[in-house]
Amino acid sequence: MKPKRLGFATFLMTVGIVACLPASQPAHAQDSYPSRPIRVIVPYAPGGYNDIVTRLIADRLSPVLATPFIVENRPGGGGKVGAAAVATAPPDGYTLLFGGNTNFVLNPLMERNIGYDPVKGFVPIALVGHFPMIVITPKGRAVDTFPDLLTKIRSLPAGAVYGTAGVGTPTHLAGAWLARLAGAKAAPAHYRGGAAILADVINGHLDYSLATLAVATNRDRINIVASVTHEPIPGLTGVPAIVDAGLPQFRKIDWITWNGFFAPGNTPRPIVEKLNGAIYQVLKDESIKMRFAELGGWTLETRSPDEIAIFIRRAIETMREPLRELGVIPE
Protein backbone atom coordinates (compact mmCIF):
# COMPACT_ATOMS: atom_id res chain seq x y z
CA MET A 1 0.00 0.00 0.00
CA LYS A 2 1.42 3.37 -0.98
CA PRO A 3 1.81 5.84 1.90
CA LYS A 4 -0.73 8.64 1.97
CA ARG A 5 0.37 12.19 1.29
CA LEU A 6 0.49 14.31 4.39
CA GLY A 7 -1.89 17.24 4.51
CA PHE A 8 -0.59 20.63 5.56
CA ALA A 9 -1.93 20.34 9.14
CA THR A 10 -0.52 16.85 9.50
CA PHE A 11 2.78 18.07 8.07
CA LEU A 12 2.99 20.76 10.73
CA MET A 13 2.32 18.20 13.48
CA THR A 14 4.94 15.90 11.95
CA VAL A 15 7.49 18.68 12.00
CA GLY A 16 6.61 19.14 15.66
CA ILE A 17 7.51 15.52 16.44
CA VAL A 18 10.77 15.66 14.53
CA ALA A 19 11.64 18.92 16.26
CA CYS A 20 11.33 17.11 19.59
CA LEU A 21 14.12 14.75 18.63
CA PRO A 22 17.31 15.75 20.44
CA ALA A 23 20.02 17.62 18.63
CA SER A 24 23.45 16.11 18.17
CA GLN A 25 25.73 16.11 21.22
CA PRO A 26 29.53 16.03 21.46
CA ALA A 27 31.15 12.80 20.25
CA HIS A 28 32.39 11.84 23.73
CA ALA A 29 28.76 11.34 24.86
CA GLN A 30 28.43 8.54 22.32
CA ASP A 31 31.93 7.14 22.89
CA SER A 32 31.38 6.54 26.61
CA TYR A 33 27.93 4.98 26.22
CA PRO A 34 26.99 2.49 27.53
CA SER A 35 29.02 2.20 30.71
CA ARG A 36 26.47 0.34 32.87
CA PRO A 37 23.48 -2.01 32.43
CA ILE A 38 20.52 -0.80 30.35
CA ARG A 39 16.99 -1.41 31.60
CA VAL A 40 14.21 -2.12 29.10
CA ILE A 41 10.67 -1.80 30.41
CA VAL A 42 7.95 -3.93 28.84
CA PRO A 43 4.57 -2.42 29.79
CA TYR A 44 2.83 -5.80 29.72
CA ALA A 45 2.88 -9.06 31.68
CA PRO A 46 5.52 -11.75 31.04
CA GLY A 47 4.87 -14.40 28.41
CA GLY A 48 3.23 -12.34 25.65
CA TYR A 49 4.84 -11.61 22.31
CA ASN A 50 6.00 -8.14 23.46
CA ASP A 51 7.86 -9.75 26.34
CA ILE A 52 9.28 -12.56 24.19
CA VAL A 53 10.47 -10.21 21.45
CA THR A 54 12.05 -7.80 23.94
CA ARG A 55 14.04 -10.54 25.64
CA LEU A 56 15.05 -12.04 22.31
CA ILE A 57 16.54 -8.75 21.11
CA ALA A 58 17.94 -7.75 24.51
CA ASP A 59 19.92 -10.99 24.71
CA ARG A 60 21.53 -10.23 21.35
CA LEU A 61 22.16 -6.57 22.14
CA SER A 62 24.23 -7.33 25.25
CA PRO A 63 27.28 -8.64 23.35
CA VAL A 64 26.91 -6.03 20.59
CA LEU A 65 27.09 -3.13 23.05
CA ALA A 66 29.15 -4.99 25.68
CA THR A 67 26.71 -4.30 28.50
CA PRO A 68 23.85 -6.20 30.15
CA PHE A 69 20.26 -5.48 29.09
CA ILE A 70 17.82 -6.04 31.92
CA VAL A 71 14.18 -6.59 30.92
CA GLU A 72 11.60 -5.45 33.46
CA ASN A 73 7.88 -6.12 33.11
CA ARG A 74 5.76 -3.19 34.31
CA PRO A 75 2.15 -4.08 33.37
CA GLY A 76 -0.94 -2.05 34.18
CA GLY A 77 -3.38 0.38 32.63
CA GLY A 78 -3.24 -1.20 29.19
CA GLY A 79 0.45 -0.32 28.85
CA LYS A 80 0.20 3.16 30.37
CA VAL A 81 2.00 2.39 33.65
CA GLY A 82 5.19 1.15 32.04
CA ALA A 83 5.22 3.87 29.40
CA ALA A 84 4.83 6.58 32.03
CA ALA A 85 7.74 5.12 34.00
CA VAL A 86 10.03 5.50 30.99
CA ALA A 87 8.76 8.97 30.06
CA THR A 88 9.78 10.26 33.50
CA ALA A 89 13.13 8.44 33.63
CA PRO A 90 16.42 10.33 33.18
CA PRO A 91 17.15 10.87 29.46
CA ASP A 92 20.53 9.15 29.60
CA GLY A 93 19.87 6.03 27.52
CA TYR A 94 19.80 3.63 30.48
CA THR A 95 16.01 3.25 30.65
CA LEU A 96 14.17 2.26 27.47
CA LEU A 97 10.61 1.28 26.56
CA PHE A 98 9.54 -1.54 24.30
CA GLY A 99 6.19 -0.21 23.06
CA GLY A 100 3.95 0.03 20.04
CA ASN A 101 0.55 1.01 18.62
CA THR A 102 -1.27 0.87 21.92
CA ASN A 103 1.21 3.15 23.74
CA PHE A 104 1.73 5.74 21.02
CA VAL A 105 -1.48 5.75 18.97
CA LEU A 106 -4.47 4.10 20.63
CA ASN A 107 -4.10 5.16 24.27
CA PRO A 108 -3.32 8.80 23.43
CA LEU A 109 -6.36 9.00 21.15
CA MET A 110 -8.80 7.28 23.51
CA GLU A 111 -7.88 8.93 26.81
CA ARG A 112 -7.21 12.51 27.81
CA ASN A 113 -4.83 11.81 30.70
CA ILE A 114 -2.60 8.80 30.14
CA GLY A 115 0.27 9.90 32.37
CA TYR A 116 2.73 10.76 29.60
CA ASP A 117 3.09 12.82 26.45
CA PRO A 118 3.53 10.39 23.52
CA VAL A 119 5.36 13.06 21.50
CA LYS A 120 7.48 15.08 23.91
CA GLY A 121 7.92 12.27 26.41
CA PHE A 122 9.80 9.94 24.08
CA VAL A 123 12.41 9.69 21.36
CA PRO A 124 11.94 6.86 18.82
CA ILE A 125 14.94 4.55 18.59
CA ALA A 126 13.97 1.65 16.31
CA LEU A 127 10.84 -0.10 15.07
CA VAL A 128 11.56 -3.82 15.07
CA GLY A 129 8.52 -5.81 13.98
CA HIS A 130 5.12 -6.02 12.36
CA PHE A 131 2.57 -8.52 13.64
CA PRO A 132 -0.53 -8.89 11.44
CA MET A 133 -3.82 -10.11 12.88
CA ILE A 134 -6.12 -12.85 11.65
CA VAL A 135 -9.82 -13.58 12.22
CA ILE A 136 -10.48 -16.95 13.85
CA THR A 137 -13.73 -18.86 14.42
CA PRO A 138 -14.70 -22.20 16.03
CA LYS A 139 -14.68 -25.35 13.96
CA GLY A 140 -17.91 -27.26 13.47
CA ARG A 141 -20.16 -24.20 13.88
CA ALA A 142 -20.87 -23.50 10.19
CA VAL A 143 -18.47 -20.55 10.12
CA ASP A 144 -15.75 -21.99 7.91
CA THR A 145 -15.30 -18.87 5.78
CA PHE A 146 -15.40 -15.13 6.31
CA PRO A 147 -18.71 -14.77 4.41
CA ASP A 148 -20.09 -17.46 6.74
CA LEU A 149 -19.03 -15.34 9.72
CA LEU A 150 -20.64 -12.20 8.30
CA THR A 151 -23.89 -14.07 7.69
CA LYS A 152 -23.90 -15.45 11.23
CA ILE A 153 -23.15 -12.26 13.16
CA ARG A 154 -25.69 -10.31 11.10
CA SER A 155 -28.35 -12.87 12.00
CA LEU A 156 -27.86 -12.87 15.78
CA PRO A 157 -30.60 -10.75 17.41
CA ALA A 158 -28.65 -10.32 20.64
CA GLY A 159 -25.37 -9.79 18.80
CA ALA A 160 -22.14 -11.73 18.52
CA VAL A 161 -19.45 -12.09 21.19
CA TYR A 162 -15.81 -11.72 20.23
CA GLY A 163 -12.60 -12.12 22.22
CA THR A 164 -10.04 -9.38 22.83
CA ALA A 165 -6.72 -9.04 24.60
CA GLY A 166 -8.06 -6.14 26.67
CA VAL A 167 -9.86 -2.81 26.49
CA GLY A 168 -8.37 -0.51 23.87
CA THR A 169 -6.08 -3.12 22.33
CA PRO A 170 -5.88 -3.66 18.56
CA THR A 171 -7.86 -6.91 18.87
CA HIS A 172 -10.63 -5.03 20.70
CA LEU A 173 -10.86 -2.11 18.31
CA ALA A 174 -10.39 -4.04 15.07
CA GLY A 175 -13.00 -6.54 16.25
CA ALA A 176 -15.46 -3.70 16.88
CA TRP A 177 -14.60 -2.14 13.51
CA LEU A 178 -15.31 -5.49 11.82
CA ALA A 179 -18.80 -5.63 13.36
CA ARG A 180 -19.50 -2.00 12.49
CA LEU A 181 -18.57 -2.43 8.84
CA ALA A 182 -20.60 -5.65 8.71
CA GLY A 183 -23.67 -3.87 10.07
CA ALA A 184 -23.83 -6.30 12.99
CA LYS A 185 -23.97 -6.10 16.77
CA ALA A 186 -21.00 -7.49 18.69
CA ALA A 187 -19.95 -7.35 22.33
CA PRO A 188 -16.29 -7.70 23.36
CA ALA A 189 -15.18 -10.27 25.90
CA HIS A 190 -11.89 -9.08 27.38
CA TYR A 191 -9.20 -11.56 28.41
CA ARG A 192 -5.81 -11.32 30.07
CA GLY A 193 -4.02 -13.43 27.49
CA GLY A 194 -4.23 -15.09 24.11
CA ALA A 195 -4.29 -18.63 25.47
CA ALA A 196 -7.65 -18.06 27.20
CA ILE A 197 -9.12 -16.50 24.04
CA LEU A 198 -7.95 -19.42 21.93
CA ALA A 199 -9.47 -21.93 24.36
CA ASP A 200 -12.86 -20.20 24.26
CA VAL A 201 -12.83 -20.01 20.46
CA ILE A 202 -12.01 -23.72 20.27
CA ASN A 203 -14.81 -24.52 22.72
CA GLY A 204 -17.33 -22.39 20.85
CA HIS A 205 -17.82 -19.81 23.61
CA LEU A 206 -16.84 -16.98 21.23
CA ASP A 207 -18.27 -16.31 17.79
CA TYR A 208 -14.98 -14.91 16.55
CA SER A 209 -11.76 -13.28 17.67
CA LEU A 210 -8.85 -11.42 16.23
CA ALA A 211 -5.45 -12.89 17.03
CA THR A 212 -1.82 -12.83 15.98
CA LEU A 213 -0.47 -15.26 13.43
CA ALA A 214 1.10 -17.32 16.20
CA VAL A 215 -2.24 -19.13 16.73
CA ALA A 216 -2.03 -20.51 13.18
CA THR A 217 -0.27 -23.53 14.68
CA ASN A 218 -3.71 -24.51 16.03
CA ARG A 219 -5.29 -24.58 12.58
CA ASP A 220 -6.53 -28.14 13.15
CA ARG A 221 -8.75 -26.82 15.96
CA ILE A 222 -9.88 -23.41 14.63
CA ASN A 223 -10.83 -21.79 11.36
CA ILE A 224 -8.70 -18.93 10.08
CA VAL A 225 -11.22 -17.13 7.90
CA ALA A 226 -9.34 -13.93 6.96
CA SER A 227 -6.19 -11.94 7.53
CA VAL A 228 -6.68 -8.37 8.76
CA THR A 229 -4.43 -7.05 6.01
CA HIS A 230 -4.68 -5.41 2.61
CA GLU A 231 -3.03 -8.36 0.87
CA PRO A 232 -3.04 -12.12 1.62
CA ILE A 233 -0.27 -13.18 3.98
CA PRO A 234 2.40 -15.26 2.22
CA GLY A 235 2.46 -18.80 3.57
CA LEU A 236 -1.06 -18.66 4.99
CA THR A 237 -2.59 -20.89 2.35
CA GLY A 238 -6.25 -20.48 1.55
CA VAL A 239 -6.78 -17.46 3.80
CA PRO A 240 -7.97 -14.31 1.99
CA ALA A 241 -7.28 -10.74 3.04
CA ILE A 242 -10.30 -9.27 4.80
CA VAL A 243 -10.61 -6.59 2.09
CA ASP A 244 -11.15 -9.33 -0.50
CA ALA A 245 -13.34 -11.57 1.64
CA GLY A 246 -16.33 -9.31 2.16
CA LEU A 247 -15.28 -6.05 3.83
CA PRO A 248 -13.36 -3.92 1.31
CA GLN A 249 -13.82 -0.93 3.63
CA PHE A 250 -11.06 -2.37 5.82
CA ARG A 251 -8.62 -0.98 3.27
CA LYS A 252 -9.14 2.40 4.91
CA ILE A 253 -6.94 1.42 7.87
CA ASP A 254 -3.77 -0.62 8.30
CA TRP A 255 -4.50 -2.70 11.41
CA ILE A 256 -1.08 -4.42 11.48
CA THR A 257 0.44 -3.99 14.93
CA TRP A 258 4.00 -2.74 15.29
CA ASN A 259 6.45 -2.32 18.13
CA GLY A 260 9.91 -1.05 18.89
CA PHE A 261 12.31 0.66 21.27
CA PHE A 262 11.87 4.19 22.63
CA ALA A 263 13.91 6.39 24.99
CA PRO A 264 12.81 9.24 27.27
CA GLY A 265 12.47 12.60 25.53
CA ASN A 266 15.69 14.64 25.18
CA THR A 267 17.95 11.57 25.20
CA PRO A 268 21.15 12.70 23.40
CA ARG A 269 21.11 12.03 19.68
CA PRO A 270 24.44 10.08 19.61
CA ILE A 271 23.01 7.61 22.14
CA VAL A 272 19.81 7.20 20.13
CA GLU A 273 21.76 6.63 16.93
CA LYS A 274 24.09 4.12 18.60
CA LEU A 275 21.11 2.11 19.87
CA ASN A 276 19.40 2.37 16.49
CA GLY A 277 22.44 0.93 14.73
CA ALA A 278 22.90 -1.87 17.25
CA ILE A 279 19.23 -2.93 17.13
CA TYR A 280 19.06 -3.06 13.35
CA GLN A 281 22.36 -4.98 13.32
CA VAL A 282 20.72 -7.61 15.54
CA LEU A 283 17.59 -7.76 13.36
CA LYS A 284 19.67 -8.81 10.34
CA ASP A 285 20.44 -12.13 12.03
CA GLU A 286 18.59 -14.94 10.22
CA SER A 287 17.82 -16.74 13.49
CA ILE A 288 16.06 -13.59 14.75
CA LYS A 289 14.00 -13.39 11.57
CA MET A 290 13.04 -17.05 11.94
CA ARG A 291 11.94 -16.53 15.55
CA PHE A 292 9.82 -13.54 14.52
CA ALA A 293 8.16 -15.72 11.88
CA GLU A 294 7.39 -18.34 14.53
CA LEU A 295 5.71 -15.61 16.60
CA GLY A 296 3.61 -14.56 13.62
CA GLY A 297 5.47 -11.46 12.46
CA TRP A 298 8.45 -10.19 10.58
CA THR A 299 11.38 -7.91 11.27
CA LEU A 300 11.58 -4.41 9.79
CA GLU A 301 14.22 -2.76 7.68
CA THR A 302 16.37 0.05 9.07
CA ARG A 303 14.56 3.32 9.78
CA SER A 304 16.00 6.49 11.26
CA PRO A 305 14.48 8.06 14.39
CA ASP A 306 13.11 10.90 12.24
CA GLU A 307 11.42 8.46 9.86
CA ILE A 308 9.84 6.63 12.81
CA ALA A 309 8.51 9.90 14.22
CA ILE A 310 6.80 10.65 10.91
CA PHE A 311 5.43 7.09 10.72
CA ILE A 312 3.86 7.42 14.18
CA ARG A 313 2.29 10.77 13.42
CA ARG A 314 0.77 9.35 10.24
CA ALA A 315 -0.58 6.38 12.21
CA ILE A 316 -2.24 8.72 14.74
CA GLU A 317 -3.98 10.74 12.04
CA THR A 318 -5.08 7.59 10.18
CA MET A 319 -6.70 6.08 13.28
CA ARG A 320 -8.42 9.22 14.55
CA GLU A 321 -11.56 9.07 12.37
CA PRO A 322 -12.27 5.32 12.77
CA LEU A 323 -11.91 5.53 16.55
CA ARG A 324 -14.22 8.53 16.60
CA GLU A 325 -16.77 6.50 14.63
CA LEU A 326 -16.49 3.74 17.21
CA GLY A 327 -17.23 6.28 19.95
CA VAL A 328 -14.00 5.71 21.87
CA ILE A 329 -12.44 9.17 21.46
CA PRO A 330 -13.45 11.64 24.18
CA GLU A 331 -15.05 14.80 22.87
* Mean pLDDT along residues 4-22: 43
What pLDDT does 331 receive? Answer: 66
What pLDDT does 4 receive? Answer: 41
Identical fold, 8-131+257-325 and 133-252: yes
Task: For residue 136, name the pLDDT band (cuts at 50, 70, 90).
Answer: very high
Task: For residue 16, name the pLDDT band (cuts at 50, 70, 90).
Answer: very low
Using a cut of 0.85, tell me whether the model's pTM lies above it: no
What pLDDT does 48 receive? Answer: 80
What pLDDT does 206 receive? Answer: 97
C-beta of residue 173 within 8 angstroms of C-beta of residue 205: no
* pLDDT tens-digit series, residues 71-107: 999 998 888 999 999 999 999 999 999 999 999 999 9
Q: Which residues of 92-123 are buried (b: 16+ CB within 10 A; e: fewer)?
A: bbbbbbbbbbbbbbbbbbbbeebebebbebbb
Whether residue 12 has pLDDT greater than 90: no
Class of domain 133-252: alpha beta
C-beta of residue 196 within 8 angstroms of C-beta of residue 116: no
List the domain boundaries for the chain: 8-131+257-325, 133-252
Q: What is the DSSP string of 40-54?
A: EEESS-TTSHHHHHH
What pLDDT does 123 receive? Answer: 97
Task: For residue 28, name the pLDDT band (cuts at 50, 70, 90).
Answer: low
Partners of 124 in beta bridges: 262
Domain 8-131+257-325 has CATH 3.40.190.150: yes
Whether residue 141 has pLDDT greater than 80: yes
Of 126, 72, 128, nearest in space to 283 by CA? 128
Q: At what angle do helices 170-182 and 146-155 cross, to 10 degrees?
A: 70
